């Protein structure tokens, strides 16, 4: 995608539909003068002060009133994009919003592309790349934890850390390259042991950031929980009990659930994605076979697998085999929880106890449901403390990959120091690490990186 940053652009910034107001954003050097030609109010917009709002009529080429509007003026560089910006508030509604938007688009103003306003904010130094990505993440956040992490990144917490690490590498590279200039004089500006210590410090800081990625990922995207087990053990009833609504169909007929059902709930500010699946068994039913294939696929993609056993039934060999296969297929870093369900019924206490601290539940009476919800949360966040939950967190795979590459190059540089190699080899790897870190905040960019980041934005942001 090619962005033309010298043009004046416009987009509808509010969701399409009926509402009290809609907002249309215009940005560029012709934003104020262009809208002024179509605005009829007590004051000329071109003469208005920045950060002021003005009521009037918006007219079309024929001079006919299209709608009553409020135009808010933001003059460069005191705007979101760093350019002149006009935000037009018109009456809400699909038709009227479209008419106002069509009135604005013309020779001087073109439709904006996805993320183009935030791209201009980045180009004009109003946001770095991590902050621009945080804008999109904040808009798309689905939980309180996701919102908090996005807001911290938008406020520059990650950027400050990245700039700090870059600063240390820049100083180290400068000393090494200065030594190269005095190589013939055999002058050492920094002790090799000190170089080793400084590189190790940066590696450790990067490793600390990388270790937060799994936590950040689940806080941003949600924790995927898959309910699995043989037919008729109460998976669908358990899902309904956790959600506290009749979401899944429950019958006594084995194989009722043939495809997976996915719903969401939140607990302690974290989004959980709960998935009910087809019962695992041997069957000749074509549809059920496909459902079972999808169950195995979901097991491999889940953060938590909840294996449900019917406590009123003896633990059969086929059930143990299913459980063993689940253990083999479970995603690396995934977690397994055993639930002994139907605890309200008379049973011979046929529990699966080989997993420590299995949970006993009754989906019918709600017994043990709150314990199961807490168990899931504890299983996911068992290694996290209150401090780590509030600390700087990596949520973006682009950041994770860039930091991983930087760490690899720093390890290579550290080995060069350890093996007594010359400053050229050390500096070369340090510069490669510096470039990878610079990609995170946008100090090193390519068109591919910018397209990857901004093409995911909604139009109007």
Alpha carbon distances (Å) from 396 to 130, 131, 217, 328, 409: 9, 12, 7, 28, 20
Query: Residues 49-58: pLDDT tens digits?
Result: 999 999 999 9
Q: What is the mean pLDDT of the chain?
A: 86
* Residue 20, token pair as written in the block: 């009290």
Is residue 209 predicted with pLDDT exceeding 90?
yes
Q: How far apart are CA 11 and CA 283, in angstroms?
A: 54
Query: Residues 330-343: pLDDT tens digits?
Result: 865 568 999 998 88
Query: Residues 132-149: pLDDT tens digits?
Result: 999 888 888 888 888 989
Q: How far apart are CA 248 and CA 282, in angstroms?
A: 22
Percent helix, percent strand, percent coil in the chain, to nearest 5:
45, 20, 35
What is the sign, positive or negative, of the torsion defined by CA atoms of 332, 334, 338, 341? negative
Domains in the chain: ranges and CATH: 8-128 (3.30.1360.120), 135-212+394-442 (1.20.120.430), 222-384 (3.40.50.300)
The residues, ordered by sequence, that sit 6+ positions from 28 with a Cβ below 8 Å of its Cβ are: 6, 7, 8, 9, 83, 84, 109
335 pairs with which residues across the strands? 304
% of the chain surpassing 90 pLDDT: 48
Query: Residues 438-460: pLDDT tens digits?
Result: 999 998 877 777 777 777 777 77
Q: Give yes or no for a contact between 105 and 63, defined as CB atoms under 8 angstroms apart.
A: no
User: Crossing angle of helices 144-154/213-221, nearest 10°?
Assistant: 120
* Confidence at 296, pLDDT banded by 50, 70, 90: confident
Is residue 409 predicted with pLDDT exceeding 90?
yes
Query: Residues 67-106: pLDDT tens digits?
Result: 999 999 999 999 999 999 999 999 999 999 999 999 999 8
Q: What is the pTM of this model?
A: 0.79
Q: How far apart are CA 222 and CA 215, in angstroms?
A: 10
Q: At CA 441, angle to CA 440 and CA 442, rounded to 5?
A: 95
Q: How far apart are CA 395 and CA 220, in angstroms?
A: 7
Total Cβ atoms within 10 A of residue 49: 8
Is residue 23 predicted with pLDDT exceeding 60?
yes
pLDDT value at residue 324: 86
């Amino acid at each position: 995608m090619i962005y033309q940053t010298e043009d004046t652009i416009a987009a509808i910034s509010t969701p399409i539909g009926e509402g009290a107001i809609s907002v249309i954003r215009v940005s560029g050097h012709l934003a104020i003068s262009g809208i002024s030609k179509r605005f009829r109010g007590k004051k000329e917009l071109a003469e208005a002060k920045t950060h002021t709002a003005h009521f009037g009529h918006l007219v079309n080429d024929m001079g006919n009133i299209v709608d009553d509007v409020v135009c808010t003026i933001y003059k460069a560089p005191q705007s979101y994009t760093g350019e002149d910006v006009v935000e037009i508030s018109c009456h809400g509604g699909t038709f009227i919003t479209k008419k106002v938007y069509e009135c604005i688009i013309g020779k001087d103003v073109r439709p904006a592309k996805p993320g183009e306003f935030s791209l201009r904010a980045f180009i004009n130094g109003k946001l770095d790349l991590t902050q621009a990505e945080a804008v999109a993440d904040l808009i798309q956040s689905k939980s309180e934890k996701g919102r908090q992490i996005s807001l911290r990144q938008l406020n520059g917490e990650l950027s400050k850390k990245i700039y700090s690490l870059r600063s240390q590498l820049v100083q180290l590279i400068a000393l090494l390259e200065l030594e190269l200039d005095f190589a013939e004089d055999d002058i050492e500006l920094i002790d090799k042991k000190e170089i080793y210590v400084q590189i190790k410090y940066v590696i450790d800081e990067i490793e600390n950031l990388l270790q937060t990625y799994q936590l950040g990922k689940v806080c941003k995207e949600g924790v995927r929980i898959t309910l699995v087990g043989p037919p008729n053990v109460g998976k669908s009833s358990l899902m309904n009990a956790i959600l506290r609504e009749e979401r899944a169909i429950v019958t006594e007929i084995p194989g009722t659930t043939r495809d997976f059902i996915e719903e969401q709930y939140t607990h302690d500010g974290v989004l959980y994605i709960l998935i009910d699946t087809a019962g695992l068994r041997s069957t000749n039913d074509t549809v059920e076979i496909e459902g079972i294939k999808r169950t195995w696929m979901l097991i491999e993609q889940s953060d938590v697998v909840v294996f449900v056993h019917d406590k009123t039934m003896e633990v059969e060999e086929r059930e143990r085999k299913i459980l063993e296969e689940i253990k083999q297929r479970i995603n690396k870093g995934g977690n397994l929880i055993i639930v002994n369900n139907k605890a309200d019924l008379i049973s011979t206490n046929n529990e699966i106890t080989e997993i420590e601290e299995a949970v006993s539940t009754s989906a019918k009476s709600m017994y043990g449901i709150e314990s199961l919800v807490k168990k899931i949360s504890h299983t996911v966040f068992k290694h996290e403390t209150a401090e780590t939950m509030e600390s700087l967190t990596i949520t973006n795979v682009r950041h994770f990959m860039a930091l991983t590459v930087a760490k690899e190059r720093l390890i290579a540089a550290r080995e060069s120091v350890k093996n007594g190699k010359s400053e050229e080899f050390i500096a070369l790897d340090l510069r490669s690490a510096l470039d990878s870190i610079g990609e995170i905040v946008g100090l090193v960019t390519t068109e591919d990186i910018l397209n990857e980041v901004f093409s995911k934005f909604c139009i109007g942001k």
